[in-house]
Amino acid sequence: MIKKQYLKEIAITSTQQRRGNSNTTKDVMKIQSWLNLYAVTHPSAGTATGIDGDFGPATETAVKNFQKAKNIPQTGIVNAAVFASLCEPMTSAFSSNAQGNGLRELIVNTALQHLANSPFELVIKGQSNTGPWVRAYMDNNEGTEWFWCMGFVQTIIDQAATILGKDFRTLMPLTYSCDTVGTTGLHKGLLTRYNVVRTTPGIVKQGDIFLLQKTANDWVHTGLITAVQGDLFETVEGNTNTDGSSNGNGVYKRVRNFRSSKLDVFSIQPLV
């Protein structure tokens, strides 16, 4: 893969514990982040805690609660094995090759593989769009201004293309900008405008990318098309929510009506 930041998100430099001599702020914040991400999907586990880099009594208790939930010894200490358990969702999303016949099916199945592991952002030090998943998709960039929908799309395409020995950058530049991909699509003749999509939806295939148009040369959100059904695109999208926001909190499977929304479509066919 080209985008390998995830490898840094699933590793710590040494064992971390309360009053530990080898503690580092960065590693403790990783642990606290994963404890909070576990709390998103297991809200009764008691693992939600502050993300401040201090391995104090609250973090120690949250670790013990995680260990209890996982039925492992409740030491309050995070060694390599405990951290691997904390970040197992990311390991599963990135390290397991999806199955599929051809790139389009691989893209869809890779997106669904990530979705199954519940990627969510966090709010750290008052900044949204932060945390391990955002950094993995955005090549270590994070913070309120770093909308991560395109980072998610390119990560999925990169992971799927790598299985076939292909480089996604032959299709588009590595970017976090919907506008850059939209403009690239126009220059390469790969972007179909929403009015054409509405009249000839058969040209849209699974694995293609939708770009939500604000104006003709301004796109505000993106996602991967997993299926076309009647007037609808089934999608998997990052940085959205149940309302379809362009700055939401996670990865969601959604249904979008392309006849009532301005959804331009970028074809991945040259990479296929």
- pLDDT tens for 146-197 read 999 999 999 999 999 999 999 999 999 999 999 999 999 999 999 999 999 9
Tokens 């609808």 belong to residue: 232
Three-state DSSP class for 151? helix
Q: Which sequence spans correspond to the domains of the chain?
A: 6-91, 98-271
Neighbours of 226 (CB within 10 A): 22
Compute the distance between CA of residue 139 and CA of residue 163 in angstroms, rounded to an integer: 20
Architecture of domain 6-91: Orthogonal Bundle (1.10)
Q: What is the pTM for the complete model shown? A: 0.97
pLDDT band at 96 (very low <50, low <70, confident <90, very high): confident
Is 236 in contact with 253 (CB distance < 8 Å)? yes
Tell me what the mean pLDDT of segment 238-253 comes to: 96
Q: Is 2 exposed, middle or buried (0-12, 13-18, 19+ CB in 10 A)?
A: middle
**CB distance 139 to 249 below 8 Å:** no
- Average pLDDT estimate for 20-30: 97
Pairwise CA distance, residues 159 & 97, whole Å: 8
pLDDT over 90 at 137, yes or no: yes
86: tokens are 């904390």
Residue 4 above 90 pLDDT?
yes
- Answer yes or no: are the C-beta atoms of 148 and 134 closer than 8 Å: yes
- pLDDT grade, residue 262 (50/70/90)? very high
| pLDDT tens profile 74-95 | 999 999 999 999 999 999 999 9
pLDDT in tens, 39-81: 999 999 999 999 999 999 999 999 999 999 999 999 999 999 9
Q: Do domains 6-91 and 98-271 have the same CATH topology?
A: no
Residues 241-259, buried b or exposed e (16+ Cβ, 10 A)? Answer: eeebebbbbbbbebebebe
Q: What pLDDT is stored for residue 98 in this prediction?
A: 93
pLDDT of residue 141: 98
The predicted structure's pLDDT at residue 128: 98
Contact by Cβ (8 Å): 271, 168: yes
Residue 180 confidence (pLDDT) = 98
- Is the model's pLDDT at 142 over the cut of 90? yes
Higher pLDDT, 97 or 234: 234
Binned at pLDDT 50, 70 and 90, residue 112 comes out as very high
- The architecture in CATH of the region 98-271 reads Alpha-Beta Complex (3.90)
Return d(Cα 65, Cα 46) in angstroms, integer.
6
Which region holds residue 46: left if phi is over 0, alpha if psi is between -120 and 50, else beta?
A: left
- List C-alpha distances in Å: 41 to 36, 37, 44, 183, 195: 9, 7, 9, 37, 39
Task: Enter the tokens of residue 233.
Answer: 């695109």
